[in-house]
Amino acid sequence: MTSAIDGLAVRGRLIVVGVDPKPIQVSPLQLIGASRSIVGHAAGASIDAEDTLDFSTLSGVRPMIAGYAPTELNTEAAVTLEPEGQGFRISRSALILRAQVPNLDEAAFAQMASDAEKNCPISKVLNAAITLEAKLI
């Protein structure tokens, strides 16, 4: 992640989403010299996701996941809210994923999906149970 800082434009912002226990190595000059910043967010704001998707579309960026380039990823999520104190908390997240990934077989896809379900950083931050129904299409 450290190398991404030098790729930021003047007044650019690196948004760290989720949880990574590794420290980010950055010198003050990398930030001050070009007025760059680093911010963190457990899930990212919707405008950040929208900006990222717009940039990806305009520049032809395609995702690479574990060395594979999916051509289609359709995800649905249903969350369960439970009362907590004066507000609510997310206690469960049920995900449905339909993916088209050239050169990826069912067994490898099932293993990747299982690993993602067990190690979801967002569910760890939220202390929520997660279920995933995943299928190659």
pLDDT of residue 1: 62
Q: Does 12 share its domain with 36?
A: yes
Full domain range(s) for residue 34: 2-59
In a domain, 66, yes or no: no
Query: What CATH number should be reported for the domain holding residue 97?
Result: 3.30.300.20
Q: What is the mean pLDDT of the chain?
A: 85
Question: Is the distance from CB of 79 to CB of 87 less than 8 angstroms?
Answer: no
30 inside domain: yes
Would the pTM of this model clear 0.85, i.e. be above it? no
What would the pLDDT profile of 11-28 be if each residue is shown by its tens digit?
988 877 666 677 888 888
Q: Which structure tokens are listed for 92? A: 């469960």
Q: Is residue 64 part of a domain?
A: no
CA 100 from centroid of its chain's CA atoms: 19
- Segment 115-137, tens digit of pLDDT: 888 888 777 878 888 899 999 99
| φ/ψ (deg, to 5) at 16 | -95, 120
The structural domain count of the chain equals: 2
Q: In this structure, are 55 and 80 located in the same domain?
A: no
pLDDT at site 82? 92
Domain boundary among 36, 59, 82: 59
Domain check: are 47 and 92 in the same one? Answer: no
CA 65 and chain centroid, separation: 11
| End-of-domain residue from the set 37, 59, 81 | 59
Residue 98 lies in a domain: yes
The per-residue pLDDT for 19 is: 62
